[in-house]
Amino acid sequence: MKSICVFLGANMGSNPIYAETIKQLGAELAKRQITCVYGGSNTGLMKVLADSVLAEGGKVIGITVKNLHDKEIFHNGLSELHVTETMHQRKAMMAERAEGFITFAGGLGTLEEFFEVYTWKKLGFHNKPCALLDVNNYFAPMLAMLAHSEAEGFVLPTDKNLLIRSDNVDELLAKMFAHNKART
């Protein structure tokens, strides 16, 4: 994989473990020469990710939407920054430029982005790895809801096999690379 899209919060969260882990992910992406694709913000965990990749000499592509300019400050130190007219264009460009997806702690936008690429994978629109960097059991309630949906007959038992999950950066990337190797 030469590029990974990371979905994560434009806020810092209440636990310092989120910033610590995202710094580690950013450094690891740079070390492995994996281009980081993300939402282009210069706030919260998004800023920490971009800055940590750049500090290690890595490449960061930010993709944002014009309408967010008043809500988020765009990062002006990126390798590339693309500003789209709509969220649909933004997400399509992020998906095109990424060979895999990592979802980290974040809010509604992060969850929406995750569910979109996860759904696309289930429907066969792509076969790129979809991973949860599940630090501090952040995604446990969401995974419990998916298990409940499965028990109620709305999610197939095989759907959970489409996700890669770990709380460890190195292990998560290893699983993603193994997925890529298996699909080629």
Which three-class secondary structure state does DSSP give residue 161? helix
Tell me, what's the pLDDT at 31? 98
Residue 70: the pLDDT is: 65
- For the chain, the domains span 3-179
- The secondary element (H helix, E strand) that includes residue 54 is helix 44-55
Q: Which residues of the chain have pLDDT under 70?
A: 69-70, 183-184
Q: Kindly report the pTM of this predicted structure.
A: 0.96
pLDDT value at residue 103: 98
Q: Which helix H or strand E contains 7, and what residues bound it?
A: strand 3-7
What are the φ and ψ backbone dihedral angles of 166, each rounded to 5 degrees?
Answer: -165, 160
For the chain, helix (H) and strand (E) counts, in that order, are 6, 7
The CATH code of the domain at 3-179 is 3.40.50.450
DSSP symbols for 73-123: PBPSSSSEEEEESSHHHHHHHHHHH-S-EEE-S--HHHHHHHHHHHHHHHT
The confidence score (pLDDT) of residue 184 equals 59
